[in-house]
Amino acid sequence: MYGPKDHGWIEAVVGPMFSGKSEELIRRITRARIARQKVQVFKHGIDDRYAVDHVVSHNGKRTEATKVLTAEEIYKNIEPDTFVVAIDEVQFFDAGIVDLCIRLADEGRRVIAAGLDQDFKGEPFGPTPALMSAAEFVDKIQAICIKCGNPATRTQRLINGSPASYHDPIILVGATESYEARCRKCHEVPGK
């Protein structure tokens, strides 16, 4: 009904910041559009990086997206003839996002979900691990470690230029916060 196959599936694209998840999501979206498949793109509204209502990669590629806060909101927005559902920043959703992806795939759609698999502490991030388990296809991609050049699988959180500690709150008023891609050797979490 929706495409050349008679069932849908889930693709998970995961990794640390700067690994190219958004770039890869945009690449898959673009190719589906070239094939004249109807695509709908969603992103979690918590992430306001660069632009509202767009998925934007760190190297400046972008595509329009609908900002949502819940899995239910995605479901309400799905149009009947949509074959590809792309979701960015999937780690910010609650566990309901996994059920939503399964439901969409069961309906015959191709779901492509991108997100962080680990938080800045190097621990599993929200619903991403469960989504990886439910997915037919998982691509775990790497950035380049800013310190040593090894494959970077982790996101280093810096507060005023120093490694954020394990017990730092997620919101730090008045502090400058930044992120880097690092390997397991160079990733620092004081207090862990």
Q: Is 71 in the site for ligand ADP (CB under 6 A)?
A: no
Structure tokens at 127: 């619903």
- Residue 148 contact, options Zn ion, ligand ADP, none, Cβ 5-8 Å cut-off depending on partner type: Zn ion
Q: Position of tokens 């930044």?
A: 178
Catalytic residue selected from 89, 107, 123, 188:
89
- 89 carries an active-site annotation: yes
What torsion, rounded to 10 degrees, do the Cα atoms 75, 56, 27, 137 define? -50
Closest CA to 139 of 17, 25, 30, 36: 25
CA dihedral 99, 103, 137, 186 (to 10 degrees): -30
Does 143 help bind ligand ADP (rule: CB under 6 A)? yes
The least CB distance from residue 86 to ligand ADP, in Å, is 13
Range in contact with ligand ADP (rule: CB under 6 A) among 31-39, 52-60, 129-137, 160-168:
52-60
CB of 135 to ligand ADP, least distance (A): 17
The least distance separating Zn ion from the CB of residue 181, rounded to whole angstroms, comes to: 9
CB of 41 or CB of 143, closer to ligand ADP: 143
Binding site for Zn ion (CB under 5 A): 145, 147-148, 150, 183, 186
> Cα–Cα distance between 113 and 14 in angstroms, integer?
8
Instruction: Pick the binder of ligand ADP from 2, 10, 11, 19 (CB under 6 A).
Output: 19
Specify the DSSP element, H or E, that contains 85: strand 84-88
**Phi, psi dihedrals of residue 68, rounded to the nearest 5°:** -135, 165
Binding site residues, ligand ADP, CB under 6 A: 15, 17-23, 57-59, 143-144, 146, 181
